[in-house]
Amino acid sequence: MNTLNLTLQSLTQKHLSAVIELDQACFGGLWTIDAYQREIDSPNSTLLGLISPLSHIGLLAMGCFWSILEEAHITILAVHPQYQRQGLGQALLFSLLKTAHESGLERATLEVRASNLGATTLYQKFGFKTAGCRRGYYKDNGEDALILWLGDIQDPQFPKTLETWQQITDKRLKLSGWLFTCS
């Protein structure tokens, strides 16, 4: 099996058109170009992407969180449909949580469609627990959102947890033929 390079990058203005294309492919146009520009410009927003120079798509996945007080509020986690179930979502979630930890944030939260079992399973794998439900949260179909929380990311043991997650993530990516690096 050939190994393909996969690079984690902070997304910038030069990635904006690729971000919009990925948003359209994953969410049907959830956010506008202006909304993503605000994310890029905001000092309280972290927007990361997984890029493969050999893919015709380029931006394979992206994730975003807002730093709100001591919390990382994950707002976006998207993997291009052609690249799902290859460990890219896992790599992106790991990277978001590692970045949140390195930024001194104490916990992470997100909302996920109640019907999205794949995403819910991934979040639970990384220690997220269900904290509640937002009824009718999704405007497109009125579906409920589960509120998930992960606490204690400044706990002295959390770096060991990150190491374990990195090993699991690297192994999963390798099974799909990816070599993961951060830039």
Which residues of 11-58 form beta strands (DSSP E)?
45-51
Quick check: is 111 catalytic? yes
Quick check: is 83 catalytic? no
Under DSSP, the state recorded for 80 is -
Under DSSP, the state recorded for 151 is -
From the list 39, 71, 83, 111, the catalytic residue is: 111
The number of residues in the chain equals 183
Dihedral angle computed from the Cα positions of residues 144, 119, 80 and 22, in that order, rounded to the nearest 10 degrees: 40
Task: Tell which residue, 83, 72, 32, 71, has the closest CA to residue 48.
Answer: 72
- Residues serving a catalytic function are 111, 123
